[in-house]
Structure 1
Amino acid sequence: MAGCGGGSSDSSGLGGDQAEDPVVVDYPVVYVRRALPRDEEGELAGDSVYSPATFNPGAELLLRDRATATAPERSLTEDLFVSDEEAGIVFEGGYDVKDLAVSADGSQLAFAMRAPDIEGLDDDEQPSWNIWLYEFESAELTRVISSDLIAEEGDDISPAFLPDGRLAFTSTRQRRSRALLLDDNKPQFSALAENLDEPAFVLHVMEADGSDIQQISYNQSHDLTPTVLSNGRILFNRWDNMGGTDRLSLYTVKPDGTDLQLYYGYHSQATGTGSGTDAVTATFSKPQQMPDGRILVTLRTPEGIAYGGDMVVIDAENYSEAFSEAEQQGALQGQESLSVEQVIIDGGLSPHGLFANAWAFHDGTSRLLVSWSECRVIEPGTATETEAGITQPCTDEWLATPDIEPADPLYGLWIYDYDEGTQRPIIQPEEGVMISEAVTADTRPVPTFIPQPIPGIDIDRDLYDEGMAVLDIRSVYDLDGVELLDIDVLADPLQTTAAERPARFLRVVKAVGIPDEDILDFDRSAFGRNRSQLMREIVGYTPIQPDGSVRVKVPADTPLAISVVDENGRRLFGRHNNWLQFRAGELRKCQGCHIADSEVPHGRTDMEPASAWGGAPTSALAFPNTEPGLTADMGETMAQLLARVAGHPELEGDLNFSDNWTDPALRAKDPSSELLMSDLTTPAPTTLPCLSSWSADCRTVIHYPDHIQPLWDLPREITDDMGTVLEDRTCTACHSNRDAAGMSQVPPGQLDLRGDQSGVNNNYSTSYVELIFDNPTEELRDGAVQNVLVQDTDDDGNLLFETNEEGELILDLDGNPIPVMVTVNIQRIMDTSGASASRFFNVFEAGGVHEGELSAAELRLISEWLDIGAQYYNNPFEAPVN
C-alpha cells in the first residue's frame, strides 16, 4: 500500500506498507471529498478563515462503515439535489459540504451543506448554507430547519451537539440583533462584519428539529467553529476586529450566551513558523477537545491557498497564552505540535507536508484521523500551458533545485499516531481532489449540562423583563491586579476631593450595524477619515464612585464598549477594543481595567489576578470618613453598596455628579455638577424627549455636518447694551479664506472652518478636512493663498534636485539644477484617536487664546465625537447615498 500519491515515496518516513489497525477498524468514518477549489483562471483559489460563507462547489459527503482502506464507500447526499424544470429549479454545478460533527453517543452526524447554484437567480437569491443531520442507524438525512423560508434567512454553518440534544452553530441570521434594529427605527438586516466584506457570523442555538432559534453572541465580526467542552461551555474562535485589532482567539461562553470569556491566545497570534515576534501569524482553526482535556486545533495562516497547517494541542487549562514571557518571548509552553516532524506554515514549502484537518479518537489511544498532504514540487521545465508538470517529493535534493515551484496539494485520509510515530492510509490521495475533513462515529463522554437560568430564581426577574443586565466593575484604578493609584486614599473624602479623582464617569458606547449595499448603498466616506471605528452611538454615562467602582444597568443583547472619562467627558485611557455582551438578567463582574498589550489574563475568571481593591474591610461600618448611614458589607465596593441600598442605577445622557459619600460632619460635601446636552444652542445629537428624560432606548448619535459644523457657524457676537455688535467671534467669521473685506487670506491658525465642500477632498466639508487630515502650510502670495513649498532633502539632510531615469540632473533654461519642492504639513489639530490626543482643546483652556469661547457643553460634544472615532456620520441611514 503506497504511502503517498503520485507514486512517490514518503519523505517523512511515515506511511508505507503497514497493516490495518484493528483498534479502529470498527468505527464508521464520514469524510468530505472535494475538487481542489480554483479561480476563473484555473489557479488554486484562496482559502480564508475571514470568509466562512465561501462556496466551493464540487464536494461529496461519503461514508465508510469501517475506518479502513478496503471498506467500500457510499455517498450520503447522492441525488439529493435534482433539478425540477417544471418548478423552475435547475441546479448548476455541484454542492458544497463542510463542518462535520458527531454526537457524543455516535448516533448522529451534523454538518453544513449548501445546495448548488440555481439557474437564473441573482447572487443574493442563491441557496444559503444550511445545517443537516444524518442518523447512522436509520440512514435518514434531513435538513434541520425544514421550512425553506426560515432556512434561507441566513447562512448556517459549524454545528455542534449540546448535551441536551440542541445544536449550537454560527450563522449570519443574527436573529436577535435584527429584531432590535426595529427599536432603532431601522429595517431588519444582517450587519456586515467589521471588514465590511460579508455579514458577521455569530453564535446561535436551536432545537434538533430547527425550532426555537436563539442568538447567543453579539460580536461585530465572526464567531466561528463552535464546539462543546466537557464542562458544557461552548468553545469557539472569535475574530476581534474592532478598531483594526485583527485577532482570532479562543473564547468560551455558556449555551445561553452568558459569561462570555476569553479562553486562550489573544496575545499568541504569531505562533506559526519562526520564533518570537518574527513568527508567522497563525490562527487556531477548528478547535475540539481531546480526551485528555487539551484542545486540538489546526494551526494555519488566516489566509492562504494550501488549505492546511500544523496539528497543535493547546493546554488551555493551565495557560491562557502560548509563551512564558510577554510579547511572545520565552518558552513555548501553552501549545505544542503533534506532528512528528516540523510543519512549516509560512506560505512556503513544508517538507513534512500539511494537515488540513485532524479528529481525535476517544478510544484511549494517541490516534488521530487526519487529512494530510505530502509536500511536492514541480520538476523544472516539465510544466506547459496545458500540462501541470511532473511532480517530485520534497527531498533535500529537489528542495535545493533552482526554480522549483510548489505542486498542488494532495490530501488523503490517514490514521496518525503521534505517540508511536506511525501513519496509516485509509484513502489514497488523488490528483485534483482532496479529503478536506473527516470524523469517526465513535462514542465519547457526554459534556456536562448547563441549565438555562430561570428568571426570578437564577437571575433578576425585573432585569430580564426589561431586557437589561448589570455591569459591575470593582475598580477602574485596578490595572491588571495592580493599583494604578492608591484606592484607599481615593475612596477617603478627607484625603481626596472629587475634583482630585481623575476617573469621574463611565461612558457606554454601542456598535452601529452596517448594512450591505443591497439594503443601503450609502457613501462609505460617511465613516470619516479613519473607518476602523465604523460608526458608534453613545448609550449613556454613569458616575464612577470614589473607589473607582461601577455598578449600572446596561442593555442586553447589544455589542457594547466602555470608556473611563474625566469631568469634561474626555476619555482617559485607550479605546476598549473588545465588544462586551450581556444577556437579559445577567450580572457581569469585572475586576478593573487593563492595557492593550498586557498578557495578564483579563476576564478569564479562573486565571485572572486577585483584585487590587479589597472593598470594605469589615461589615456594618461605613467606609472611612463617609456618610455614617451607608454601612457596607465586608468586601463590598462603594458602587455595590449604593446599588444594594438604592437599586441599580440607570445610564444617563448627561454627566451628572453629586457627592453621596462625604460625611458633612467632617467637611463640606463636594459641589454638585452637571454637563448637560440641553445646554447646547445648536442641534442636539439626540431626540427631544431624551433631552428631558433619558431612558434605555435613548442614544447620542453625532453627525459632523449636523452637530459639529453648526458649532463653527453659530453666531457669537459681542454687543453693547444697545445691541451694537462690537466684535464678531463667530468661528467661521475669522477662520475663513476671506477676511471681513472679502479679500483672500490665510485663515488664522492655518484653520478654515467653513462648511462648504472641500476642494481638497470633496467627500467632506472644508472644516472637516482642515481639522482631521494633514494639511499643507499656506501663505498669501501674489494676492492668492498658496501652499508653502520648501526644497526636499534625503535622509542625510542633503538637498534634492530633479533627475531623469538615468539619475542625471535635469537643468532649467539657465542651466541650473531644478530643486525638488514639497509642501510642509502643519500638525493635525484633531486626532481620530480621541480628544486627549487632540491639540484643539489647548486654546480653550485657562490662558488659551480662545478661553471661554466655547461652552462646556460644546466642548463635551466635540470630545465625545472625537473619542468615538470622529466619524462624518454615525447612522448609515442618515448618510448620503450613492
Structure 2
Amino acid sequence: MGKVSKFFYRVTVIIIVTGIFLSTQTFTTLSASIDFTKPEFAFDKIVFTKHQPYSFPGIENHMIDGSFGFNAVKGGGLYILNNAFSGNPTVTDVLANSICTNGRYAGKKLTGGAFYSFDLSYDAKQIVFSYTDAQNSYGVWNQNTTYHIFKVNVDGTKLTQLTDGAYNDFDPRWLPDGRIIFISERRGGYGRCHQRIVPTFNLHTMNADGSDIRCISYHETNEWSPSVDNNGMIIYTRWDYVDRGANHAHSAWITNPDGLDARAVTLNYPNSGPSWWTNLPLTQMQLRAIPNSNKYVGTAAPHHAQNYGALIVIDPDVEDDDNLSTITKITPDAKYPESETGTTTDQKYATPYPLSEDYFLCVYDPNANTNGGNKRYGIYAIDTKGNKSLLYSDPNFSCYGPMPLRPRKVPNIIPGTAKPTGQAQDGVVSVMNVYNSLLPLPSGTKIKELRIWQVYPKTTTMATDPMISYESTESIWAGRNTRGLLGSVPVESDGSASFYLPPGRAVFFQAVDQDGTAVQTMKSDTFLVPGQTKLYCQGCHEPGRQAAVNPESVPLALRREPSKIAPDPSQGARPVSFPRLIQPILDKKCISCHNGSQVPDLRKGTTDAQTKWFSSYKNLKPYVALIDAMYPGADWNKVYPRTEPGKFGARASRLYNKLKTGHGTLTQSELHSFIVWLDSGIAPFFGDYKNVDAQLRGEQVEPSLN
C-alpha cells in the first residue's frame, strides 16, 4: 500500500471510529438563540427523566395509552443535568447507587423497567416519580405491568416505594402542605368509547409516606397531569364529554387540593364555527402555572396519539370566546396535531416548564414528524419568539419533563376538608339564579325545579357491552353514560335553589319549566367529595368570567333549610331503563293501534341479536331529538358542545310534541315518564352496563358502580 493510500486509510478509520464513538455517547449542542444571561436562567442544574415514547406495531396509539405501564419502553432513568447552560454539561444518574428501603422492591435497585413523570419538592431536596417494571404484556394489569410511585432524596438516598398493586399510579406532584397529588386507576370504571380494556384514572392524594390514599375526583372519565398553580390550586386536564363528542373536550380544569369545586378554565365548550371540532387544540396537557403570572403553559396534543404536540399559553384573564381567545401558540413551527394537520403529526414538543412568560424549558425533537417510532426528544430552552437552544440530548433515548433543580416558593396552603370517620354526610349545593345563562331561555319560561341526574361510571370494558342508546349503532366506538334520575328540587321565584346532595356521585342538573320539560341542561358533571359541605353555582351555563353580583337581598332558597331531593315517582327512572320506564306504557296505551298496521310499530317485538333492543325502541328513533344529529355534520363523535336552551330533549322531539296534544290519552304520570326518557339527553335503552337480562325483563337494577 502506497503512502497516499495509507494516509487515506488512516483518515477513513479515524472517521469511522469517531462516528461510532459519537453515535454511542450523549451530546450537547449550544446555539446562540437564547440569551442565558437573562435572570430566568440563574440556575445550573436540571432534573429530568429519560422516557421513550412507545412504538410497538399493532398497539393502540391514543392519549390514554402512554400512561399504561405495559406500553413503556424499558430503559431511561432519573437524572440531573449539571452546568446546564455551559455548553459542556455533565449528567448524574440519581438512582445509580439507590437501594429501595421498603415494600416489594426492598433491597433492590430500580433497574430493567421504565420511568415516567416526576416532581421536585419545594425545598429541592426530594423527588417523587413514577416507575414500572414495564412487563410488556399488552392489556394485562398486574404489579409488574403498571406504574408505581416512589420518592428519593436528590442525592439518591432513601429510595422509598409509596404505591403498589395492579393500578397505574403516575403524574405525582408535591402539594404545599406536604401531601402528594397523583393520577390513579384506583377508583374503578372504564372508558366508554373503546373496544378494549381502558380503565379510567382520576385525581388522588396521599401522605408523603404513601398512607391515606384518597380519591378526590368522581368525574367519570380520565384526568391527567395535575400541578399546583401560584395560588395553591390544582390545574389539570380533564376529558369531559358527557353528551358531547369524545374528540374535543380535553381541557384545563382547576380545583383545590381536596378536589372541591372543580371548574373548567377555558375551551370546555369549543365552538369554532360550522366545523366546531377543527382548528383548535384537541387536548391541553402537562399544564403548569407561569411564575409571577396568572397564565399557564401546556402542550396541545392530539386525541389519537401520545401527549406531544405544540406548546401553548393559556390566559384565563381573557374573555373565553369558545375559540382561541385565551390560547396562544408559542411554537410557531408546530401546528396543532390532528386538528390543524388532519393527522397526528407535528408532535415536536412536550413537558414545558415555565421560567417566565418569555422563557421555558421543554423537550423537543426536530425530526419527530419524519422519523416514525425512532423519536429522540432532547432538552431545550425556548422563548416565545420561536428561538430555541439544545441543552442536552441522548441519541439512544428520549428525555422528558426538564425542571430546574432549585428551591421554589411554596404556594398558599388551602385548608382541607375533614376526612369523614364514617358515612360521609350530604353537602349543600346552592344555585344563585338559574336564569343567569350565556344563551337566553325561551321567552316566558318559568323554571320550577332542578332535576338531578347521576351519570354512572362504566363497569364493562367494551363500548358495545352493552349498546346503551341510539348512537351506539353509528360506530363500535360510540359510548354514552348510563344515567339515573335521583329526583328533583324546587326553584324559587327568583331563580335560586338550595339542596342536599350525596358526596361521591357525578351528577348534572337540568332546569325544568312549568310544563315539566327541561329547558337547560349540563353537558358535564359535578360532584361533592366526602367531607365537602358546600358547593355554589352562580347560574346555569352563565358566562364563564362573569363576576358574581351582590344581590339586593339574600336569594330566597338560601333563607330556608336546603331541600331534600324528591325521588322521581316513575318506575325505571333510576337508572333510566326503556323496558321498565317506557315499554309498559306502550303496551298499555299504544300497541292497540301501533301494532304493525300503523307506523311506528310499538310492539316489543323480537329482541335484536346485536343490540338486544326491542323493536319498539328502534322504531321510535326518528321521533326522538338526538344530541348527535341536531346539527349539520354532526355524528356521535362530533356533537355540538353547548346546550341551546329549549332546543333539545322532549321539547325538540316529534314524540313529545305529538303526545302532549293528547295523542294516546296518556295520564300526566305516563306523559312525565316519556319526558324523563327524552330529557335524559340520549333516550337510552339500558340504564346499567351489567344486569342486561334483568333489565330486559323490566326489573329494577342498581348501578354496578356509583
Q: Give the TM-score band, short-chain normalised.
A: 0.7 to 0.9
Q: How does 1:323-334 map to 2 (within 5 A)?
A: 326=321, 328=323, 334=326
Q: Paired residue for 2:636?
A: none
CA drift at 1:536 = 0.3
8 Å Cα contact 1:270-1:281 kept in structure 2: no
8 Å Cα contact 2:608-2:615 kept in structure 1: yes
Q: Paired residue for 1:835?
A: 650
- Relative to structure 1, is the Cα distance of residues 18 and 538 closer, same or farther in structure 2, using a 3 angstrom cutoff? closer
- Given candidates 366, 379, 393, the residue that maps to 1:413 is 379
Q: Paired residue for 2:147?
A: 129
Please tell me the residue identity of whatever aligns with 1:469: G
- Relative to structure 1, is the Cα distance of residues 551 and 376 closer, same or farther in structure 2, using a 3 angstrom cutoff? closer
Further displaced range: 501-510 or 364-373: 364-373
8 Å Cα contact 1:30-1:61 kept in structure 2: no
Distance between the aligned counterparts of 2:109 and 2:579, measured in 1? 49
8 Å Cα contact 2:181-2:203 kept in structure 1: yes
For residue 203 of structure 1, give the secondary structure of its aligned residue in structure 2. Answer: strand
- Relative to structure 1, is the Cα distance of residues 375 and 711 closer, same or farther in structure 2, using a 3 angstrom cutoff? same
Distance between the aligned counterparts of 2:483 and 2:142, measured in 1? 28
- Relative to structure 1, is the Cα distance of residues 302 and 554 closer, same or farther in structure 2, using a 3 angstrom cutoff? same
- Given candidates 554, 564, 571, the residue that maps to 2:518 is 571
Distance between the aligned counterparts of 1:165 and 1:371, measured in 2? 28
Please tell me the residue identity of whatever aligns with 2:617: Y
Q: How does 1:413-812 map to 2 (within 5 A)?
A: 413-416=379-382, 423-430=388-395, 433-453=397-417, 467-480=425-438, 484=441, 502-517=446-461, 523-529=465-471, 532-573=479-520, 575-583=521-529, 584-594=531-541, 600-601=543-544, 607-611=545-549, 617=552, 635-641=553-559, 643=560, 647-654=561-568, 676-677=569-570, 684-685=571-572, 700-714=574-588, 730-737=589-596, 747-748=597-598, 750-757=599-606, 763-772=612-621
Percent of pairs with identical residues: 20
1:357 aligned to 2:356? no
- Relative to structure 1, is the Cα distance of residues 770 and 270 closer, same or farther in structure 2, using a 3 angstrom cutoff? closer
For residue 580 of structure 2, give the secondary structure of its aligned residue in structure 1. Answer: helix
Q: Deviations over 1:174-229 (max 9, x none)?
A: 2xxxxxxxxxxxxxxx1113435622221111100011111111111112110011
CA drift at 1:537 = 0.8
- Relative to structure 1, is the Cα distance of residues 835 and 31 closer, same or farther in structure 2, using a 3 angstrom cutoff? same
Distance between the aligned counterparts of 2:34 and 2:293, measured in 1? 30
CA drift at 1:553 = 0.8
Q: Paired residue for 2:318?
A: 319
Q: Paired residue for 1:37?
A: 54
Q: What TM-score do you get using the length of structure 2 for normalisation?
A: 0.77
- Given candidates 658, 663, 671, the residue that maps to 1:859 is 671
Distance between the aligned counterparts of 2:191 and 2:514, measured in 1? 34
Please tell me the residue identity of whatever aligns with 1:870: A
- Given candidates 328, 335, 344, the residue that maps to 2:335 is 344
Q: Paired residue for 1:401?
A: none
For residue 111 of structure 1, give the secondary structure of its aligned residue in structure 2. Answer: strand
Distance between the aligned counterparts of 1:753 and 1:346, measured in 2? 47
Q: Paired residue for 1:170?
A: 183
Please tell me the residue identity of whatever aligns with 1:343: A
Q: Point out which structure has higher relative CO (alpha carbons under 8 A, 6+ apart).
A: 2
Q: How does 1:51-200 map to 2 (within 5 A)?
A: 52-53=67-68, 55-64=71-80, 66-68=82-84, 70-77=88-95, 94-117=112-135, 122-123=140-141, 126-137=144-155, 139-145=157-163, 151-152=164-165, 154-174=167-187, 190-196=188-194, 198-200=198-200
- Relative to structure 1, is the Cα distance of residues 365 and 880 closer, same or farther in structure 2, using a 3 angstrom cutoff? closer
CA drift at 1:509 = 0.5
Calculate the aligned-residue CA RMSD, in Å: 4.3
CA drift at 1:538 = 0.9
Unaligned runs of 5+ in 1: 8-12, 146-150, 175-189, 379-387, 389-405, 456-460, 487-499, 602-606, 618-634, 655-675, 678-683, 687-699, 715-729, 738-746, 776-830
8 Å Cα contact 1:263-1:320 kept in structure 2: no
8 Å Cα contact 1:370-1:438 kept in structure 2: yes
Distance between the aligned counterparts of 1:102 and 1:327, measured in 2? 34
Please tell me the residue identity of whatever aligns with 2:459: P
Distance between the aligned counterparts of 1:6 and 1:244, measured in 2? 51
For residue 172 of structure 2, give the secondary structure of its aligned residue in structure 1. Answer: strand
CA drift at 1:835 = 1.9
Q: Deviations over 1:2-35 (max 9, x none)?
A: xxx999xxxxx98279999798596432322244
- Relative to structure 1, is the Cα distance of residues 358 and 610 closer, same or farther in structure 2, using a 3 angstrom cutoff? closer
Q: Deviations over 1:521-557 (max 9, x none)?
A: 9841244555653200111111222222111111112
Distance between the aligned counterparts of 2:183 and 2:198, measured in 1? 14
Q: Paired residue for 2:692?
A: 879
8 Å Cα contact 1:474-1:549 kept in structure 2: yes
Distance between the aligned counterparts of 1:525 and 1:424, measured in 2? 51
Distance between the aligned counterparts of 1:516 and 1:78, measured in 2? 42
Structure label with greater radius of gyration? 1
CA drift at 1:74 = 4.1
8 Å Cα contact 1:522-1:876 kept in structure 2: no
Unaligned runs of 5+ in 2: 1-20, 24-28, 473-477, 625-645, 697-706
The alignment of Structure 1 onto Structure 2 pairs a total of residues equal to 625
CA drift at 1:173 = 0.7
Please tell me the residue identity of whatever aligns with 1:158: D
- Relative to structure 1, is the Cα distance of residues 139 and 360 closer, same or farther in structure 2, using a 3 angstrom cutoff? farther
